[in-house]
Amino acid sequence: MESLVAQRYAASLFEAGVEENCLEQLWQEISWLGELFSQNPQFLKLLAAPTLTQSEREQIIKSTLEGQLSAYALNFVHILADKGRIASFSHIVTEFRKLYNKHNNIQDVVAITAVPLDERLANKLRLRLEELTGKTVVLENQVDASILGGVVLKIDNDLVDDSVRSRIEGLKKQLSAVIA
């Protein structure tokens, strides 16, 4: 349910950004707000508190965010607060990012490695992925020593596992099948 709500609100904001030719600015502003709420969860809880009246909530939003956001982003925050959906903000940002990335031909990829990728290897991997996908790749490197070596790529809902751990597990299965 929350995902569907987030998709609808994100799509509405996205469409407004496209129609008003301010998509880039909206993306920057809601990203900033997402970080703000993430770093200050008490602020988000305050805005979502059922004990606040609508006018108190609007006054808090106005006094803290006015001048920091465009009218579109500020109105969007007001709407979310008025409709009791402000607590879903991080999900809305996630859905907006999907729309933004699709619109701008951007692909987020998470590369999980046993040790951090150095800049040269990360760039080489990013360029190869751009070649394969035909999209601009935003590469995030996560470290997980348990994979032992190689790389695991997360691309949307797909997982490409070329780790040493998965190869060893594959060999174990093959050996078990031969021995059994």
pLDDT, tens digit (0-9, with 9 covering 90-100), for 144-169: 999 988 899 999 889 888 888 888 88
- Judgement on whether residues 10 and 76 belong to the same structural domain of the protein: yes
The CA R_g of the chain, rounded to the nearest whole Å, is 21
- Judgement on whether residues 122 and 93 belong to the same structural domain of the protein: no
- Judgement on whether residues 133 and 110 belong to the same structural domain of the protein: yes
Q: pLDDT tens-digit profile of 45-82?
A: 999 999 999 999 999 999 999 999 999 999 999 999 99
- Judgement on whether residues 53 and 65 belong to the same structural domain of the protein: yes
pTM value?
0.81
Q: What is the pLDDT of residue 177?
A: 81
b (16+ CB within 10 A) / e for 30-45 = beebbeebeeeeeebe
- Judgement on whether residues 84 and 6 belong to the same structural domain of the protein: yes
Distance CA(52)–CA(49), nearest Å, equals 6
- Judgement on whether residues 50 and 97 belong to the same structural domain of the protein: yes
- Judgement on whether residues 18 and 98 belong to the same structural domain of the protein: yes
Distance CA(165)–CA(126), nearest Å, equals 23
- Judgement on whether residues 51 and 83 belong to the same structural domain of the protein: yes
* Burial (CB count within 10 angstroms: exposed 0-12, middle 13-18, buried 19+), residue 90: middle
Distance CA(72)–CA(49), nearest Å, equals 23
**Structural domain range at position 110:** 105-179
Choose the final residue of a domain: 78, 102, 126: 102
- Judgement on whether residues 66 and 88 belong to the same structural domain of the protein: yes
